[in-house]
Amino acid sequence: MDEVEAGMAAGWLEQLYEPRSVAVVGASDDIRLPGGRLLQFLLDYGYAGNVYLVNPNRAEVQGRRAYKSLLDLPERVDIAIVLVSAAASIDVLEQCAALKIPAAMFGNSGFAEIGAEGAQLQERVSRIARDAGIRLVGPNTNGIINTRNGFTATFSPVLDQKGLVLRDGPVAIVSQSGAVGAAMYYDGQRSGLPVGRLYNSGNEIGVTLEMVVDALLDSPQFNTVLCYVEGLRRPSLFIQAAHKARRLGKRIVLLKSGATASGAKAAAAHTASLSGEDRVYDGVLQELGVARARGYTHLLDIGRVLVAYPHPFGRRASILSMSGGVGIMLTDALEKAGMGLAAFDEAVLAGLEPLLPAFLGAQNPLDVSGGPFHHLDRLRAMLQLFDRNPHSDITIVAVGSFERRQMEIAEVLADEARRLEKPLFVVWFGGGDQATRHLNALNVPCFPDAERLSQAIVPGLQAGTRQPGRSGDVVPDVAAARAVLSCAREAGRKVIDEVGGKQVLRAYGIDVVREQVVDSPAAARAALDVLRLPVVAKLRSDALVHKARAGGVRLGLATSESVCAAVDDLLALARRLQLPDADVVLQEQVPAGVELLLGAKRDATFGMVITLGIGGVLTEAWDDVQVRLADGDLDVHDMLERLVHQSLLDGTGGRPKVDPAVIAPTVARFARLVRDLADDIDAIDVNPIIVHDGARAPTAVDTVLFLR
């Protein structure tokens, strides 16, 4: 907990959202200006606290008395909303400090976002707030909203309309973009998503997004927090909040923008080049149980599903569709999203018989044509049948085109949804705006097409059984590993080659290929006393990057003669290439298996992360890895399952089957190594690490380690 946080009392967020009184500094008559709009909203949306207006040039604003400065107010307000220029706001903040006003929202811009000059101002604001213990929202935020008490402290024009009724509820939106946050709040509200709070975090000099998310989870009101993130300033607090959410059965959903732009760049380590920002977010959020939204609409759609059905549900859907075509499209979309169709049991089949005309078949997806939507008792009966089928987890109704009768049908669906034990979802195609809003407002998620429905459902699905890795079985020889690192560092190296690298791996109980370093044919002959033939010979030199391309690798040496000849050859090659430091590594040849990559890198946001994926010489071409936090659960089963090229792992094609249970201890030991040595290393590649048949632990064949 840093200084700012330490200065805050528990319940600080509640205090921010529930001020008894507020001052608007920079209040204006002109609703084209922030100080005009924000004031108007506070008055229009029913905020019941005292609202004081401050404007040095006016005695009256929007028909209410205006004060020259905060110092003239008749009471100490709970929050000052500051909408004057950046330069002028310094004085205002000093007045807040003098008056011991506990919180301020800086809706003005002109700070760090405009460059060096603004950054200086921002530093002054930050210092004054910190010294005075003022909770600071922003600067450069367009505001925050508490739906419950009408504290609509925003100047976003989304609220600029008559007749908008705001609905309180368990969803909160926290956004690093004011425009995005305000638009989401509004699009959520008008489509029936009960958004209780909006927090636009602006430049985050005091309160950051992570702090708000964390505090919202403590409130019994909120079970779903939707976040728009451009970059996490306090990733460890975010991780902590995610763990809290999991403990409490609440959900965080995150939309990360800018992920492609700052994507994977070329890097020395495979692991680093394969694990760009987008993949790291994918892996870390997956691990934390945070749902990742792929876009603006998707974020709201996920929110809709999680609010309606906070308890995870299964993947088998029963579909009732008024159109065969939409039934097929739903089947396609569910399959693409990793779901499937429920089998109709005897009871469903028997029950459907009197409800369906003879010419419609009783299969899933059930094409009912228009009938049950004209005879709504049949619709109800069918939904009940589906709900009682033990092979079915959710029900999806596809309906549409009934413009005139949409509300009648929607009422029945909403009424049934209340009775059903399992989640009910609706696809409404061909019109139905009113029905869609109504259903969503009653927590029956309703979408205009199959793709949006299936993409929105995914984060609500039950996760597989978590299978955290275990490494408790081996006590690592940390001293031996550290010795390799310091030795390399003393020699001025930034890179530790495969020989040193495998010593480090071995110190952590990871199986490595047996090898000997030799510098003459005679030494090679001696080495063969401890190595089993056939062996591989590799020329080793700091200056030799691509051994194989330089002709520096000899495979399948099966006799001591061929080994000695190869060593002789390679040393001659080294002389030709002018590599005075060269020697030769003799390695036992590991039987063919599945070549994986196991790696680690320092991520700019999340620190050390572990990468597991398809390895071998074509690693970059496969481009198929999963990333997780080094100090996370490391569910190897889940990581392997999410790789794209599954047929490499499934035991087909004469390859060994890659069993997560066999790999997991190695991955766990590697993660322990990474955590222990995190301060000293930037990246490690173990590639390939070869997976064998049966229960034998995988063997690390090559590795490279990049010092910090």
Strands 79-82 and 21-25, how do they pair? parallel
Beta-carbon contacts of residue 176 (< 8 Å; ≥ 6 apart): 200, 201, 204, 209, 228, 229, 230, 231
CA 218 from chain center: how many Å? 21
Which is nearer to a copy of itself, 8 or 145 (by Cβ)?
Answer: 145
Beta-carbon contacts of residue 479 (< 8 Å; ≥ 6 apart): none
445: contact with a copy of itself by CB under 8 A: no
Please identify which residue in 6, 10, 74, 161 interacts with a copy of itself, judged by CB under 8 A. 161
* Residue ranges in 392-497 assigned as alpha helix (H): 406-419, 433-441, 450-457, 478-490
Please identify which residue in 90, 97, 128, 179 interacts with a copy of itself, judged by CB under 8 A. 179
Choices 58-66, 75-83, 233-241, 369-377 (CB under 8 A): range interacting with a copy of itself: 369-377
Which is nearer to a copy of itself, 55 or 109 (by Cβ)?
Answer: 109
Please identify which residue in 56, 325, 338, 464 interacts with a copy of itself, judged by CB under 8 A. 325
> Scanning residues 476 to 535, which ones bind a copy of itself (CB under 8 A)?
none
State the CB neighbour count (10 A cutoff) for residue 668.
23
Choices 214-222, 280-288, 544-552, 663-671 (CB under 8 A): range interacting with a copy of itself: 544-552
Which is nearer to a copy of itself, 249 or 295 (by Cβ)?
Answer: 295
Rg (CA), the chain: 32
- How far is 239 from 508, CA to CA, in rounded Å? 27
Choices 97-105, 184-192, 512-520, 698-706 (CB under 8 A): range interacting with a copy of itself: 184-192
Choices 215-223, 425-433, 472-480, 664-672 (CB under 8 A): range interacting with a copy of itself: 425-433
In 3D space, the residue among 632, 630, 604, 638 whose CA is nearest the CA of residue 684 turns out to be 630
- How far is 25 from 42, CA to CA, in rounded Å? 13
In 3D space, the residue among 360, 325, 291 whose CA is nearest the CA of residue 449 turns out to be 325
**In sequence order, what are the beta bridge partners of 104?**
80, 136
Which is nearer to a copy of itself, 311 or 404 (by Cβ)?
Answer: 404
CA distances, 337 to each of 9, 226, 284 (Å) = 44, 21, 20
> Scanning residues 65 to 94, which ones bind a copy of itself (CB under 8 A)?
none
Choices 39-47, 90-98, 366-374, 658-666 (CB under 8 A): range interacting with a copy of itself: 366-374
Strands 699-700 and 515-518, how do they pair? unpaired
> Scanning residues 110 to 129, which ones bind a copy of itself (CB under 8 A)?
110, 113-115, 118
Minimum CB distance to a copy of itself, residue 299 (Å): 10
Please identify which residue in 271, 331, 666, 687 interacts with a copy of itself, judged by CB under 8 A. 331
Minimum CB distance to a copy of itself, residue 230 (Å): 7
* Residues 322, 369 contacting (CB under 8 angstroms): yes
* Residues 206, 135 contacting (CB under 8 angstroms): yes
Which is nearer to a copy of itself, 279 or 422 (by Cβ)?
Answer: 279
Tell the burial category of 562 from Cβ atoms under 10 Å away from its Cβ (0-12, 13-18, 19+).
middle
> Scanning residues 17 to 36, which ones bind a copy of itself (CB under 8 A)?
32
Phi, psi angles (nearest 5°) of residue 536: -115, 140
**Contact pattern for a copy of itself over residues 446 through 465, marking x by CB under 8 A:** --xxxxx-------------
> Scanning residues 383 to 422, which ones bind a copy of itself (CB under 8 A)?
400-405
Helix axes 178-190, 296-308, angle to 10 degrees: 50
Please identify which residue in 294, 419, 470, 494 interacts with a copy of itself, judged by CB under 8 A. 294
Minimum CB distance to a copy of itself, residue 259 (Å): 6
Please identify which residue in 29, 168, 187, 569 interacts with a copy of itself, judged by CB under 8 A. 187
338: contact with a copy of itself by CB under 8 A: no
* Residues 50, 75 contacting (CB under 8 angstroms): yes
Choices 51-59, 326-334, 471-479, 508-516 (CB under 8 A): range interacting with a copy of itself: 326-334
Q: Is the dihedral of CA 596, 600, 601, 603 positive or negative?
A: positive
- How far is 223 from 623, CA to CA, in rounded Å? 37
298: contact with a copy of itself by CB under 8 A: yes
Please identify which residue in 289, 312, 324, 660 interacts with a copy of itself, judged by CB under 8 A. 324
> Scanning residues 589 to 618, which ones bind a copy of itself (CB under 8 A)?
617-618
Choices 96-104, 158-166, 348-356, 558-566 (CB under 8 A): range interacting with a copy of itself: 158-166
Minimum CB distance to a copy of itself, residue 297 (Å): 5
- Count the site residues for a copy of itself by CB under 8 A: 83
Please identify which residue in 121, 333, 596, 612 interacts with a copy of itself, judged by CB under 8 A. 333
Which is nearer to a copy of itself, 608 or 643 (by Cβ)?
Answer: 643
> Scanning residues 260 to 279, which ones bind a copy of itself (CB under 8 A)?
260-261
CA 297 from chain center: how many Å? 16
Minimum CB distance to a copy of itself, residue 345 (Å): 21
Q: Is the peptide bond before 445 cis (omega within 30 degrees of 0)?
A: no
Please identify which residue in 257, 384, 467, 562 interacts with a copy of itself, judged by CB under 8 A. 257
41: contact with a copy of itself by CB under 8 A: no
Which is nearer to a copy of itself, 338 or 464 (by Cβ)?
Answer: 338
CA distances, 678 to each of 179, 270, 422, 472, 600 (Å) = 39, 18, 46, 19, 10
Choices 59-67, 210-218, 330-338, 497-505 (CB under 8 A): range interacting with a copy of itself: 330-338
E strand map for 179-330: 195-200, 224-229, 251-256, 291-293, 316-321
Tokens of 132: 């005075």
- How far is 378 from 357, CA to CA, in rounded Å? 12
Choices 94-102, 316-324, 600-608, 629-637 (CB under 8 A): range interacting with a copy of itself: 316-324
Which is nearer to a copy of itself, 23 or 184 (by Cβ)?
Answer: 184
Which is nearer to a copy of itself, 191 or 221 (by Cβ)?
Answer: 191
CA distances, 64 to each of 55, 61, 83, 465 (Å) = 11, 5, 18, 61
> Scanning residues 199 to 238, which ones bind a copy of itself (CB under 8 A)?
228, 230
Which is nearer to a copy of itself, 184 or 507 (by Cβ)?
Answer: 184
- How far is 575 from 582, CA to CA, in rounded Å? 9
Choices 233-241, 348-356, 530-538, 645-653 (CB under 8 A): range interacting with a copy of itself: 645-653
360-368 contacts at long range (C-beta below 8 A, 24 or more positions apart): 364/318, 364/319, 365/319, 365/320, 365/321, 365/324, 365/327, 365/328, 365/330, 365/331, 365/341, 366/318, 366/319, 366/320, 366/321, 366/327, 367/321, 367/322, 367/323, 367/324, 367/327, 368/320, 368/321, 368/322
User: Residue 539: which H helix or E strand, with range?
Assistant: strand 535-540
Minimum CB distance to a copy of itself, residue 699 (Å): 20
